[in-house]
């Protein structure tokens, strides 16, 4: 939708994976970026070195001679200062605005030819329905005009413009019409999607389609059927869950939702753990109760070879944490590409399987005591890297429903880490902690000290508990196994077994462990 871009780079951090991603998109569109090196007032700023890194990045991405001759502006954005050279005196942003006027051409376009627009963004309004957003490629559009939507399969659908919105700064303003070069939002076309063309009925010629990034990770969203279902949330039924996920598809076009064999289960696929975690957290805040399964990456067969999605990861950490980060990512099948030390910090460059990054961010922040910075970006598909070591410890499973009691937890804490604290409500089949050994163990955390003729219930030794490990959303998703679920409500995050009944769960595990009998026996 644009004719020019500003490539914003930190004067200390330099180019990151996100920088590479957006720059490649810009160069592919034949744009000439204006490089803005910001935060030149930082103590660890290295603007000249960063400019060299940016130039190397341009070359590695195949920039042409015109694009390599990019203008450079040095900024302290917080103070509203821009400079053409580091030594220049400046008190305002005029050098940056002058560079935009000089470098960015006016939008091209023929206002006389039949209307044509490529939809590059989708929005949704409860009163107007779906909105197709894009820049007018040619021609003029008027309110109520007859249009055609040219879909990806080449089919053309009749449509009529009911509303047109232009953009003024951050505001959306209703207008009667628009012409070539303007960015607008059009209402009245419920079936329009990203990458499709809206054209005049007289000349429905499609523009080249825009590719939509495919999902790389999926998980099942299930209706909450735990004993505490409906106690903390407003929306708990299959209908509520189905309608909410369908509504998400109206604007979140890189997400896919599929029906499964069970009417209460929906398979949701997204661009990664963060993409799905944002949806989960948003639904929690809206009052939904639901459960999710362990996430799984989406594999592909490329040239008859099983391939998996890979992520390009760049990590900046103090030198003292380099060893623990490399060790952790090594267990996750990461391949280190580069390591650069500078002023007490080290930048680590990895290629990591997407499944290896599930839950890594929270663990990384703990290991680096909050001082590490992590950036990741989808790299592509590569041949399967082999099995990953998942959880090696078993679960502590609540035996009965009630409130966790300090006395019941006290005797167990030597060989476990708890996910609950005294006073929290638990139910039979709920995971209340992690066992120090590899097998699951059913425990009674609701056990209280009994009053007898010889002692009072509060006598004897004092009960002291270690602080529990209260799981975050990402940690819970990463921790669970194939036979477990995470229950999300507006107030709680609980881990549970898929099968709550202990006896049924034991019978199922024995059946799975026993070898199949041969037909002759």
**Is 34 within 8 Å of 71 (Cβ atoms)?**
yes
**12 and 95 housed in the same domain:** yes
The reply to whether 354 and 453 lie within a common domain is no
CATH number of the CATH domain containing 329: 3.30.70.240
The tokens for 469 are: 């490990």
| 39 and 87 assigned to the same domain | yes
For residue 491, give the nearest of 232, 142, 145, 257 by alpha carbon: 232
Name the more confident of 55 and 372: 55
For the chain, what is the mean pLDDT? 86
Same domain, 177 and 97: no
Q: 232 lies in a domain?
A: no
Q: To which H or E segment does residue 49 belong?
A: helix 47-60
Residue 73 lies in a domain: yes
Domain at 432, CATH number: 2.40.50.250
Confidence of residue 512 (pLDDT cuts 50, 70, 90): low
Query: Within a domain: residue 1?
Result: no
Residue 521 has what pLDDT? 38
Query: In this structure, what are the phi and psi dihedrals at residue 427, rounded to the nearest 5 degrees?
Result: -135, 160
**Pair 343, 402 in one domain:** no
Mean pLDDT to the nearest integer, 452-475: 70
pLDDT digits (tens, 9 = 90+) for 184-234: 999 888 778 888 889 888 888 888 876 777 888 899 999 999 999 999 999
How far apart, in whole angstroms, are the C-alpha atoms of residue 463 and residue 451?
16
Distance between CA 351 and CA 345 in Å, rounded?
20
What's the predicted TM-score (pTM) here?
A: 0.71
Please give the average per-residue pLDDT across 282-294, as a whole number. 94
Shared domain for 94 and 147, answered yes or no, is no
Range of the domain at 126: 116-200
Check whether 10 has a pLDDT greater than 90: yes
Please tell me what DSSP assigns to residue 235: B
Residue with tokens 């639904």: 283
- Based on the fold, state whether residues 498 and 414 are members of the same structural domain: yes
pLDDT value at residue 456: 53
Claim to verify: residue 45 and residue 125 sit in the same structural domain:
no
Q: Alpha-carbon distance 202 to 196, whole Å? A: 17
Task: Give the total number of structural domains in the chain.
Answer: 4
Domain co-membership, 131 together with 167: yes
- Examine the domain organization and report whether 415 and 317 are in the same domain: no
Residue 207 lies in a domain: no
The reply to whether 276 falls in a domain is no
CA distance 118 to 227: 50
287-296, 391-400, 443-452: range with lowest mean pLDDT: 443-452
Residue 455 banded pLDDT, cuts 50, 70, 90: low
Domain boundary at 200, 233, 268, which?
200
């Amino acid at each position: 939708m644009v004719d020019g871009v500003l490539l914003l780079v930190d004067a200390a951090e330099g180019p990151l994976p996100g920088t590479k991603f957006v720059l490649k998109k810009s160069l592919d569109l034949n744009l000439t970026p204006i490089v803005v090196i910001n935060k030149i007032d930082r103590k660890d700023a290295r603007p000249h070195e960063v400019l060299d890194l940016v130039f190397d990045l341009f070359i590695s991405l195949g920039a042409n001679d015109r694009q390599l001759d990019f203008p450079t502006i040095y900024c302290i954005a917080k103070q509203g200062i821009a400079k053409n050279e580091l030594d220049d005196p400046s008190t305002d942003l005029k050098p940056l605005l002058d560079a935009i006027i000089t470098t960015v051409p006016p939008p091209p376009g023929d206002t006389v030819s039949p209307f044509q627009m490529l939809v590059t963004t989708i929005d949704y309004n409860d009163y107007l329905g779906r909105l197709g957003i894009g820049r007018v490629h040619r021609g003029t559009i008027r309110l109520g005009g007859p249009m055609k939507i040219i879909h990806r399969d080449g089919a053309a659908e009749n449509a009529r413009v009911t509303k047109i919105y232009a953009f003024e700064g951050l505001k959306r303003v209703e207008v009667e019409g628009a012409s070539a070069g303007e960015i607008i939002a059009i209402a009245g076309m419920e079936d329009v999607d990203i990458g499709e063309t809206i054209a005049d009925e007289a000349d429905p010629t499609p523009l080249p389609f825009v590719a939509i990034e495919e999902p790389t990770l999926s998980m099942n969203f299930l209706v909450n059927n735990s004993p505490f279902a409906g106690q903390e949330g407003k929306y708990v039924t299959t209908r509520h869950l189905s309608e909410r996920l369908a509504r998400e598809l109206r604007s979140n076009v890189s997400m896919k939702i599929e029906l499964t064999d069970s009417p209460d289960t929906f398979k949701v696929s997204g661009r990664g753990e963060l993409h799905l975690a944002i949806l989960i957290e948003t639904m929690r805040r809206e009052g939904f109760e639901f459960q999710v399964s362990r996430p799984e990456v989406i594999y592909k067969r490329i040239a008859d070879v099983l391939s998996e999605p890979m992520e390009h990861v760049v990590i900046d950490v103090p030198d003292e944490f380099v060893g623990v980060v490399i060790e952790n990512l090594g267990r996750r099948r990461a391949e280190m590409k580069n390591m650069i030390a500078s002023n007490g910090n080290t930048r680590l460059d990895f290629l990591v399987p997407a499944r290896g990054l599930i839950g890594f961010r929270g663990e990384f922040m703990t290991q680096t005591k909050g001082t590490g910075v992590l950036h990741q970006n989808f790299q592509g598909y590569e041949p399967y890297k082999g099995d990953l070591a998942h959880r090696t410890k078993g679960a502590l499973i609540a035996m009965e429903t009630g409130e966790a009691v300090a006395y019941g937890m006290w005797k167990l804490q030597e060989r476990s880490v708890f996910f609950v604290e005294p006073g929290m409500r638990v139910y039979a089949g709920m995971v209340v902690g992690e066992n120090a050994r590899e097998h699951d163990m059913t425990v009674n955390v609701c056990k209280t000290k009994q009053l007898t003729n010889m002692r009072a219930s509060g006598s004897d030794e004092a009960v002291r508990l270690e602080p529990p490990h209260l799981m975050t959303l990402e940690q819970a998703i990463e921790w669970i196994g194939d036979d477990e679920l995470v229950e999300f409500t507006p107030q709680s995050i609980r881990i549970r077994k898929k099968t709550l009944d202990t006896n049924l769960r034991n019978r199922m595990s024995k059946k799975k462990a026993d070898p199949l009998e041969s037909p002759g026996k």
